[in-house]
């Protein structure tokens, strides 16, 4: 068949043949030996927010691991609007082997994951950005090797990036200082949980409204945009409130002499970070961006690769 426009075009014999083929394909849906570890698998990218790094890094990760990816835009799906969230989750689960979701509401992600029967990966919500947090700590470990006892300072809005960074860093034994304007601190429950993890790893979590105090002697200076996606109408107000938290040469000079600079991108140059710092010799922003690919490969292998990691390290 070149097209299947209506079932009127098919004879009973042709339909029976399709059913038999589908049955065989369903029973034999396994990755052949000797091919890339995720050969034959499909990753759905269900995005309600625009993306550069998350989309491209997951697509390339899937491709290099032998899988294929399928991008679904907001207009195509309409989670919870055009179709119930649980219905989308169940249907996609019958087609693909894993689903990456990039959305606004974290509650929606949880509802989706509860209904799904394949692995669901959070590509970003308003509350958390776990792929970024893992990448951030991976980048710091790559730079310093032994990170226990080092200090990571985050400057700006206590947003989703700050939440995941707190969680990942506390588990790694990094001392974390979060400097935000009053009223823009990270969620208290996230901070409390991070402090419990920090107690186990021997680290500390400090919240302050003083960016200079937070930057003093730090080994990593980290910042993010002041107005995230969905907060565009607050951009002007936030710009005035956050102006003292700009990561510039003055703040960098107060950090450890070998401190590195990080930003998850996209950056609003001249707002939360200056060109001299972002493009300077201490910046690891582009390394950090590249590492999204490698970390997300590891995530996909962990969720879908079964014993692949063990066999690679044997």
Distance from C-alpha of 121 to C-alpha of 109, rounded to nearest angstrom: 9
Residue 12, judged by CB atoms within 10 A of its CB (0-12, 13-18, 19+), counts as: exposed
Residue 200 domain flag = yes
Say whether both 142 and 192 belong to one domain.
yes
pLDDT confidence of residue 35: 63
Residue 236 domain flag = yes
Say whether both 122 and 137 belong to one domain.
no
Whether residue 308 contacts residue 42, with contact meaning beta carbons closer than 8 Å, is answered with: no
Q: Which residues pair with 223 in a beta bridge?
A: 155
- Model confidence at 8: pLDDT above 80: no
For residue range 265-278, what is the model confidence (pLDDT) as tens digits? 999 999 999 999 99
Angle, alpha carbons 222-106-301 (nearest 5°):
75
Q: What is the extent of the structural domain holding 216?
A: 131-283
pLDDT band at 84 (very low <50, low <70, confident <90, very high): very high
Say whether both 135 and 255 belong to one domain.
yes
Residue 46 domain flag = yes
Q: CATH number for the domain including 305? A: 3.40.50.1370
pLDDT band at 311 (very low <50, low <70, confident <90, very high): very low
Residue 20 domain flag = no
Say whether both 204 and 234 belong to one domain.
yes
Distance from C-alpha of 171 to C-alpha of 134, rounded to nearest angstrom: 11
Residue 274 domain flag = yes
Residue 4 domain flag = no
Say whether both 221 and 248 belong to one domain.
yes
Number of domains in the chain: 2
Say whether both 274 and 149 belong to one domain.
yes
Higher per-residue pLDDT: 14 or 85:
85
Percent of the chain at pLDDT exceeding 70: 90
- Model confidence at 70: pLDDT above 80: yes
**Mean pLDDT rounded to a whole number for the chain:** 89
Distance from C-alpha of 259 to C-alpha of 255, rounded to nearest angstrom: 6
pLDDT confidence of residue 217: 98
* Alpha-helical segments (H) within 82-158: 85-95, 106-115, 130-144
Mean pLDDT for the stretch of residues 136-165: 94
157: left (phi over 0), alpha (psi -120 to 50) or beta: beta
Distance from C-alpha of 192 to C-alpha of 196, rounded to nearest angstrom: 6
Cβ neighbours of residue 52 closer than 8 Å, sequence gap 6 or more: 265, 266
Neighbours of 308 (CB within 10 A): 17
pLDDT confidence of residue 14: 76
Say whether both 161 and 178 belong to one domain.
yes
pLDDT confidence of residue 296: 87
For residue range 277-303, what is the model confidence (pLDDT) as tens digits? 999 999 999 999 998 988 888 888 888
pLDDT confidence of residue 305: 77
Residue 122 domain flag = yes
Q: Which residues pair with 154 in a beta bridge?
A: 178, 222
Mean pLDDT for the stretch of residues 167-189: 95
Say whether both 180 and 273 belong to one domain.
yes
pLDDT confidence of residue 25: 60
Least confident of 42-46, 54-58, 182-186, 235-239: 235-239
Three-state DSSP at 300 gives: helix
Residue 2 domain flag = no
For residue range 102-121, what is the model confidence (pLDDT) as tens digits? 999 999 999 999 999 999 99
Distance from C-alpha of 236 to C-alpha of 132, rounded to nearest angstrom: 26
Neighbours of 139 (CB within 10 A): 23
pLDDT confidence of residue 75: 83
Say whether both 211 and 173 belong to one domain.
yes
The closest alpha carbon to 162, from 132, 192, 189, 140, belongs to 132
Say whether both 92 and 143 belong to one domain.
no
The closest alpha carbon to 132, from 303, 289, 267, 304, belongs to 289
Say whether both 174 and 51 belong to one domain.
no
Say whether both 158 and 265 belong to one domain.
yes
């Amino acid at each position: 068949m070149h097209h299947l426009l209506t079932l009127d075009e098919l004879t009973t014999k042709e339909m029976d043949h399709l059913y038999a083929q589908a049955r065989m394909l369903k029973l034999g849906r396994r990755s052949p030996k000797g091919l890339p570890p995720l050969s034959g698998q499909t990753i759905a990218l269900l995005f309600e927010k625009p993306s550069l790094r998350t989309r491209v890094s997951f697509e390339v990760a899937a491709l290099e691991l032998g899988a294929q990816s399928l991008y679904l835009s907001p207009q195509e799906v309409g989670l919870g609007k055009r179709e119930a969230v649980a219905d989308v989750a169940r249907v996609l689960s019958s087609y693909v082997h894993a689903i990456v979701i990039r959305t606004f509401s974290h509650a929606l992600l949880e509802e989706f994951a509860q209904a799904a029967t394949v692995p669901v990966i959070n590509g970003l919500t308003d509350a958390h950005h776990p792929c970024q947090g893992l990448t951030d700590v991976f980048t710091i470990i790559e730079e310093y090797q032994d990170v226990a006892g080092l200090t990571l300072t985050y400057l700006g809005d206590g947003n989703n990036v700050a939440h995941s960074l707190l969680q990942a860093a506390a588990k790694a034994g990094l001392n974390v200082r979060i400097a935000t304007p009053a009223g823009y601190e990270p969620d208290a429950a996230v901070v409390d949980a991070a402090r419990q993890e920090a107690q186990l790893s021997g680290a500390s979590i400090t919240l302050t409204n003083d960016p200079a105090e937070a930057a003093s002697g730090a080994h990593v200076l980290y910042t993010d945009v002041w107005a995230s996606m969905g907060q565009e109408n607050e951009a002007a107000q936030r710009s005035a409130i956050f102006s003292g938290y700009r990561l510039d040469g003055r703040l960098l000079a107060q950090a450890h002499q070998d401190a590195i600079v990080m930003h998850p991108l996209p950056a609003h140059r001249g707002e939360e970070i200056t060109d001299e710092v972002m493009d300077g010799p201490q910046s690891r922003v582009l390394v950090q961006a590249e590492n999204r690919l490698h970390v997300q490969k590891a995530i996909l292998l962990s969720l879908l690769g079964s014993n692949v990691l063990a066999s690679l390290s044997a």
